[in-house]
Amino acid sequence: MSHKLPFSSIVNKTIASSMKASKNVICFGLGVTDPKGIFGTTLGLEKKFGKDRVFDVPASENALTGFAIGASLNNQIPILTHQRLDFALLSLDQIINGAAKWLYMFGGESNVPITIRMIMGRGWGQGPTHSQNLHSVFSHIPGLKVVTASLPTDSANLLYSSIFDPNPVIFLEHRWLHNSLGDVPKTFKKDQLGKCKIIKKGKDITLVGFSYMVLECIEAAKILEKYNISCEVIDVRTISPIDFKTLEKSVLKTKRALITDTSNSFCGISSTISNFFYSKIDNLLNKIEILSMPFCPEPTSYKLLDGFYNDRYDISNCVLKMFKKNIKVINKNKIKPDIPGDWFKGPF
């Protein structure tokens, strides 16, 4: 029987395995060698691989990304980690005008194999500037691959594939996933980018999710089984590029879809997927629905946060409405809106 590990530990072991696989892999970022080790994801790496390959850095995100680009052009394979996606916004110039453009500017003859890990998601009233889910921003940029890990075991192969991809990858980890449990693969794969995964097969409706919303879709599917609604759950996993073929095949079967998003849908990935369904699939039984957040920054107070985020109950009620069932599922064990459970650890 396998011993399951937290998502954070699986990320840690994946980085370690990549560093064992290639001496050119380096790992750095603000807090990488701190006692907390970026939520446990980088703990012990400095001791295993030395200060030349695993190191803390000054708080200068734009300069660090430039350093990563330079290192990658000198046969290194950098893993740059930000404790918050919000901090990485200071490095957009290097990411967009440097890393993403490099392959195009040099006729495909020079690559920038960078993986930039960004932690996103909410917790403990962090408010507008420390809780943003900006996956759609990065997916808009040609030259960047964007990964939204969800299930712990999958995250290992997705991260390993990202590290050894020849071009820049934005690897997004939702903060609420770090304590979810999974297995470390016996062998790591390098070919997992650009592939959706069918988590659960069904025949009545397709639930599309990525990042943390995949877990909510899985739980919503269990709730909806009680009302004789069979859900097919798909984890998009890579939102740039998107595996439209798998999504299309599912909705051709179910003729219905609910797309869940950890952010708002305006100019978003969920809107892109919805538009694809409408352009490719005839005879839909319902209009394609999107369940996303309001088009405004996250408030800080618990009172204002109540109802801001969606969960399995919101998904279930949306689907029940699509099926014209006059039923409402109620969450009887509601917790604070920015704390998923007692297991959620801080301080960030």
H/E stretch holding 218 reads helix 213-225
Is pTM, for the whole model, over 0.85? yes
Please name the residue that has the structure tokens 């297991």: 343
Confidence of residue 341 (pLDDT cuts 50, 70, 90): low
Cβ atoms within 10 Å of 295's Cβ, excluding its own:
11
pLDDT of the residue at 95: 97
Of the chain, the percentage scoring pLDDT greater than 70 comes to 94
Please name the residue that has the structure tokens 């903060």: 175
pLDDT of the residue at 176: 87
2 pLDDT more than 60: no
124 pLDDT more than 70: no
Ranges of each domain in the chain: 5-182, 197-322
Distance CA 291, CA 265 (A): 8
> Cis before residue 347, ω within 30 degrees of 0?
yes
Average pLDDT of the segment spanning 229-244: 97
Distance CA 197, CA 269 (A): 17
122 pLDDT more than 80: no
The string of pLDDT tens digits covering residues 264-308 is 999 999 999 999 999 999 888 888 999 999 999 988 887 888 788
For residue 9, the Cα-to-chain-centroid distance in whole angstroms is 16
pLDDT of the residue at 28: 97
Please name the residue that has the structure tokens 């016996």: 186
Question: Six-digit token pair at 150?
Answer: 């969800």
Q: Is residue 235 within 8 Å of 150, Cβ to Cβ?
A: yes
152/343: higher pLDDT: 152
- Note the residue count of the chain: 348
Beta bridge pairs of residue 291: 260
pLDDT of the residue at 1: 44
What CATH number belongs to 197-322?
Answer: 3.40.50.920
70 pLDDT more than 70: yes
Identical fold for domains 5-182 and 197-322, yes or no, is yes
CATH class of 5-182: alpha beta
The string of pLDDT tens digits covering residues 196-228 is 999 999 999 999 999 999 999 999 999 999 999
The string of pLDDT tens digits covering residues 129-166 is 888 999 999 999 999 999 998 999 999 999 999 999 99
Q: Which segments of 35-131 does DSSP mark as H helices, in order?
A: 37-40, 45-49, 61-72, 85-88, 92, 102-105
pLDDT of the residue at 258: 98
Confidence of residue 343 (pLDDT cuts 50, 70, 90): low
pLDDT of the residue at 331: 81
The string of pLDDT tens digits covering residues 15-63 is 999 999 999 999 999 999 999 899 899 999 999 999 999 999 999 999 9
pLDDT of the residue at 300: 84
Q: How far is CA 234 from CA 10, 205, 216, 217, in A?
A: 22, 11, 12, 9
- Strand bridging mode 181-182 / 5-6: antiparallel
Please name the residue that has the structure tokens 């798998």: 246
Active site residues per annotation: 61, 130
Single-letter amino acid code for the residue at 348: F
Q: Taking all residues of the chain, what is their mean pLDDT, rounded to a whole number?
A: 92
pLDDT of the residue at 219: 95
